[in-house]
Chain A
Amino acid sequence: MATIIKSISFQDFYNYYGSFEYNTYKFKEGINIVNADNNMGKSKFYNGILWLLRDIVYDSDFKRMESASSSYIKMASGKAKCEKTSFLMAVRIIFQTENVEYIVTKSIPFQLIDNNWKTKNEILDVIETQDGKTIPILDISAKEEVIKKIIPTELINYALLQGESMEKLVDLSSRLGLSSTIEALADISNLITICSVSSELTKKSKSLLNSQEKDFSDNKGKVVELIEEKVKIENYVDQSIDKIDEYKRELSEAKNKKEELEALQLNAKKRERFREIQERLNYEIKNLTIKKNDKERNITSNLFLGNTPWLLMGLQEEITRFDEHRQSLNEEKAKQHISKNPTILLPEGSPDVPSLKRMLNKEICEVCGREAMKDSHAWKHIEKIMNRPQKEYNGDKNNFSQFYSNIQTTIGSFYLSIPGIGERINEYRSEIDLIQEEINKKILEYEDAKFEFINAGGGSTHSDKDILYSYSLAEDKEKETKKLIEKTQNQISIWKVRLSQIDIELSSSSKNDIVNDYREFRDTMCAVEMILANTKDRIFDNIIKSLESNANQKYTDLTLGNSTSGGRLSFTKQEDNTVQVSIKDILNGEMTGLGTGFQRMKQLSIVMAIISSKIGNNQFNYPFISDAPFSEFGDNFINNFFKVAPNVFSQSIILIKELYDPQETNLLNSLGKKILSEMIDGKINGTFYVNVMKEAADSTNLVTINKCYKY
């Protein structure tokens, strides 16, 4: 029966301010989603589980796990520390397994003494409820056993995952990595023990036979001599078998290294091409950025540009108004002047363009007061004056006083140019936008080239020269260890021939029935040892086969609909009995450097396969809890995960931000809405929560509350 977490609650724990009542997430079988933006409590939630199960927390400042006891002050709610003088920080998990419900609460009391926060000893409360009876568990080791029921220690690395650690989920690089995982999850550890016991019992039977042969021999001296030789040779054989194991391990390492380097070598040309493309694009992006920056800098100059200062955009009406004021002023001045002096002297540049335009419209010359009918000689003369070349503005751009004075004197030229300013600004803006578009395009091309470069094994700290050298070393090591294995095996064969000869000699020396019975005993024990060892190997091989097929099925399901091929997972048993997993392309070549999303999917597929390959049990019986598992995944991967996960995990609790959209009223993006709707329709079984901030606050005073969209 599966372990199901029914609820997780927090009290004055990080962002979760206040009592359990305000900070409870109720969960059920299936997929349970807690959707939250950055800094809205996902990792804090995960830390609550880590604290309760493993006495550690993840410190995002240092990006490492820390012991909870050294992080209590950081773990406590900032708001509680601001507002209270004492409080109890706590995390509570209520779970059910085998019809028994457990309430596990871990807490720590805080008290403010002389302006310093002091903590008391951690408290662990466990309450068991079965058949309506509630019993508090008091014994500390019994309490710890209950905690292990949530997720057993040996499975915690697979059931409790943080996105960043997912690449290391199944340690494929260590010698025993996957093989020890297979042994643990396929539950063949007892068979391994049985094999080891059998081997020791065989040795005992051999030793017993030796003593019987000595006791019942007709020629004691000769028999003792033969037995001593036999024991000596058997020791040599044992030592040589150990040596072969060591050589096989070295051979396996050398082969893996060679294969890895082979893939890197094969892609050297590809890497070179994409390195060049990256360099070229980098250069082009740099130049375009300089060009764009120059254009942006020139915006200020254009605001005060000679004939068409952008500053005047939209001020055309102001010029008309200004002209009207000026006209009335001029008229007033003219009247005063005429009354004193009838000779009119116009200033340079006069009459100005607006005046001339008005004269043409009114068909009258305002200088002499005579009529100037349209298309008449006088009218055309006025028009000619209006279209005369304007004097260029050569003022100092930084001299605002002069600039504004000139606006007054050169108002005519602005009158004609202002309507075009808007268009000119738009053109200028389009030019900048075009450059930006070009930069964006080049950045995308650069990212593609970088992706291809990394796919081809680029980005490693080793140069191609280093790779060649390391390859040749690995090749030599492979040849050398193969020779050593062959040589040692030949030596063992020779020794075994001699052991058979000794056996024949000994049996002819002592034909006693009792000795023959012990000989039969030894032979049977040797055969049993071999049968058990072969059984173990056969089971292991079958599991690898089933695991490979299962993992590939999960991998295909998880990467379904992706435009890039993720290849095929290949599980290979090495000479040293370890298992190597690689990703092969359709031609069975090694695929290297696939993106982080693919690598995580590979890990997740292996774990899902391991979990669902468990003999006699196809469901993972413990909750799968993951913080930000999808931080490197696209929508397609996420969608696929939600389809595959319910077939593997009885319950999963996923802390995620990829479904969050702060612009939407329900804070869900389209994928989030789709998943929620499928949950509401019953297509996906589970619960859906969204974390929100109670109010804007600084990081020490954050308060997260949850909204339950589906339970």
Chain B
Amino acid sequence: MTAEEIFNEVLKSPELVKIFNIPKEEIENLDYKNFSEYKVIEIIKAIIRGDENKSDKNAIFKVIQNQIMQL
């Protein structure tokens, strides 16, 4: 599966609505390439992208921690 196909499959998860309160309509408009305001979506993208680019786990973690969560 391509990274984009995986991302589109993840967007079908009911947990995004239930846990993160992301409205269904917004989920439908989400895109793998464009930035999302939702941190969880960006974290998911970072992990998928990390696999796509064969990045080191620590590097992926740093991206999530520093850039997405801004910690």
Structural contact, A525 and B10, CB atoms closer than 8 A: no
Q: CB of A512 within 8 A of chain B?
A: no
Name the residue on A nearest B55 (C-beta).
A197
Contacts A524-B40, A535-B9 known; A190 to B65 CB distance under 8 Å? no
Contacts of B64 in A (CB 8 A): 201, 525
By a CB distance below 8 angstroms, the chain B residues around A570 are: none
Tell me if B12 and A190 are in contact (CB < 8 A).
Answer: no
Please state if A528 and B71 are interface contacts (CB–CB under 8 Å).
Answer: no
**CB atoms of A525 and B43 under 8 A apart:** yes
Expressed in whole angstroms, the Cα–Cα distance for A527 and B20 within the complex equals 9
Identify A524's interface contact among B12, B39, B60, B61, CB under 8 A.
Answer: B39
- Return chain A residues, CB-CB under 8 Å to B1: 186-188, 190-191, 539, 615
Which of chain B's residues have a CB closer than 8 A to the CB of A200?
Answer: 57
How distant is B32 from chain A, measured CB to nearest CB, in Å? 13
Interface residues on B, range: 20 to 34
Q: Which residue of A lies closest to B3 (CB)?
A: A190
- B15 interface residue (CB < 8 Å to A): yes
B48 in contact (CB, < 8 A): yes
Query: Which B residues have a C-beta under 8 Å from some C-beta of A?
Result: 1, 3, 5-6, 9-10, 12-13, 15-16, 19-20, 39-40, 43-44, 47-48, 50-52, 57, 60-61, 64-65, 69, 71
Report Cα–Cα, A517/B48, bound state, in Å. Answer: 23
B6 to chain A, nearest CB (A): 5
B57 near A518 (CB under 8 angstroms)? no
Judging by beta carbons under 8 Å apart, are B13 and A197 in contact?
A: no
Interface of A is mostly: helix
Asked if B47 contacts A201 (CB within 8 A), the reply is yes
Contacts of B51 in A (CB 8 A): 190, 193-194, 197
Chain A residues 505-562 with CB under 8 Å of chain B are 514, 517-518, 520-521, 524-525, 527-528, 530-532, 534-535, 538-539
- Selected contact of A532 from candidates B10, B12, B19, B52, CB within 8 Å: B10
Given the known inter-chain contacts A191-B1, A517-B71, please indicate yes or no for A531 contacting B44, CB distance below 8 A. yes
Evaluate contact between B20 and A191: CB separation under 8 angstroms: no
- Bound together, the chains give a CA A43 to CA B66 distance in angstroms of 61
Q: Of all chain A residues, which has the CB nearest B6?
A: A191
- Cα A525 to Cα B50 in complex, Å, equals 15
B71 touches A194 (CB 8 A): no
A208 at the binding interface (Cβ < 8 Å) = yes
Residue of chain A at shortest CB distance from B58: A204
Cα–Cα, bound, A528→B71 (Å):
18
User: In the complex, which residues of chain A have a beta carbon less than 8 angstroms from the beta carbon of B43?
Assistant: 524-525, 528
Whether A198 sits at the interface, judged by CB under 8 Å, is yes
Task: Report yes or no: A535 in contact with B71, Cβ–Cβ below 8 A.
Answer: no
A342 within 8 A of B: no
> How distant is the Cα of A60 from the Cα of B37 in the complex, in angstroms?
65
Report yes or no: B69 in contact with A538, Cβ–Cβ below 8 A.
no
Main secondary structure of the interface of B (DSSP, over half): helix
Picked from B9, B39, B47, the residue with its CB within 8 Å of the CB of A198 is B47
Q: Is A682 an interface residue (CB 8 A)?
A: no
B contact residues around A190 at 8 Å (CB): 1, 3, 6, 51-52
Q: List, in ascending order, chain A residues with CB within 8 A of B57's CB.
A: 197, 200-201, 204
Residue of B nearest to A525 (CB): B43
Alpha-carbon gap, A187 to B5, bound state (A):
11
A-B contact pairs, 27 of them (CB 8 A): A187-B1, A188-B1, A191-B1, A191-B6, A194-B48, A197-B51, A197-B57, A197-B60, A200-B57, A201-B47, A201-B60, A201-B61, A204-B57, A208-B65, A514-B71, A517-B71, A524-B39, A524-B40, A524-B69, A528-B40, A528-B43, A531-B13, A534-B15, A538-B9, A539-B1, A539-B9, A615-B5
Q: Does A389 reach chain B (CB closer than 8 Å)?
A: no
> Whole-angstrom distance between the alpha carbons of A200 and B47 in the complex?
11
A521, B43: Cα distance in complex, Å? 10
Known: A190-B52, A201-B61, A534-B13; 18 extra A-B contacts, CB below 8 A, are: A190-B6, A190-B51, A191-B1, A197-B50, A197-B60, A200-B57, A201-B57, A201-B64, A204-B61, A205-B65, A208-B65, A525-B43, A528-B47, A530-B15, A531-B40, A532-B44, A535-B13, A539-B9
Task: Give the distance in Å from the alpha carbon of A186 to the alpha carbon of B9 in the complex.
Answer: 14
Which residues of A sit under 8 angstroms from B12, Cβ to Cβ?
A: 535, 538
> How close is A505's CB to chain B, nearest CB, in angstroms?
23
Name the B residues within 8 Å of A193 (CB-CB): 51
A616 within 8 A of B: yes
**CB of A219 to closest CB in B, whole Å:** 23
Query: Residue of B at shortest CB range from A198?
Result: B47
Within the complex, the shortest CB–CB distance from B37 to chain A, in Å, comes to 14
* Contact for A197 among B3, B39, B47, B69, CB less than 8 A: B47
Contacts of B19 in A (CB 8 A): 527
Which of A530, A531, A538 gathers the greatest number of chain B CB atoms within 10 Å?
Answer: A531
